[in-house]
Amino acid sequence: MLGPLNINLADFNVSCENGFLPDETPLERLQETYQEWEAIIEKLPLLLQTKSLRASIDRMQILSTDHLKSEPEWQRAYLILSFFTHGYIWEAGGPSQRLPPQITIPFLKISHHFDLPTTATYSALNLWNFAAISPDADIRKIENLRSLSTFTGGEDEEWFYLISVTIEAHGARVIPTMMKAIDAVRANESSVVTDALIQFSHCVQEIGEILKRMTKKCRPQVFYNEIRPFLAGSKNMEVAGLPNGVFYDEGEGKGQWRKYSGGSNAQSSLIQFFDVILGVQHSPTKGSIGLKNGFLREMRKYMPGKHREFLQHIESVSNIRSYAETTSDNQVTEAYNRAVEELKKFRDVHIGIVTRYIINPARQHSPAANAGLNLAVASANPSSTKELHGTGGTQLLPFLKQSRDETRDTRIP
Residues annotated in a binding site for heme b: 350
CA–CA dist 310, 273 (Å, integer):
9
| Residues contacting residue 123 through CB under 8 Å, at least 6 positions apart | 75, 78, 114, 116, 267, 302, 303, 304
By the 8 A CB rule, do 85 and 129 touch? Answer: no
Length of the chain: 413
Give the per-residue SS3 of the chain: CCCCCCCCHHHHCCECCCECCCCCCCCCCCCHHHHHHHHHHHCHHHHHHCCCHHHHHHCCCCCCCCCCCCHHHHHHHHHHHHHHHHHHHHCCCCCCCEECHHHHHHHHHHHHHHCCCCCCCHHHHHHCCEEECCCCCCCCCHHHEEECCCCCCCHHHHHHHHHHHHHHHHHCCHHHHHHHHHHHHHCCCHHHHHHHHHHHHHHHHHHHHHHHCHHHHCCHHHHHHHHHHHHCCCCCCHHHCCCCCEEEEEECCEEEEECCCCCCHHHCHHHHHHHHHHCCCCCCCCCCCCCCCCHHHHHHHHCCHHHHHHHHHHHHHCCHHHHHHHCCCHHHHHHHHHHHHHHHHHHHHHHHHHHHHHHHHHHHCCCCCCCCCCHHHHCCCCCCHHHCECCCCCEHHHHHHHHHHHHHCCCCC
Q: Which residues are annotated as a binding site?
A: 350
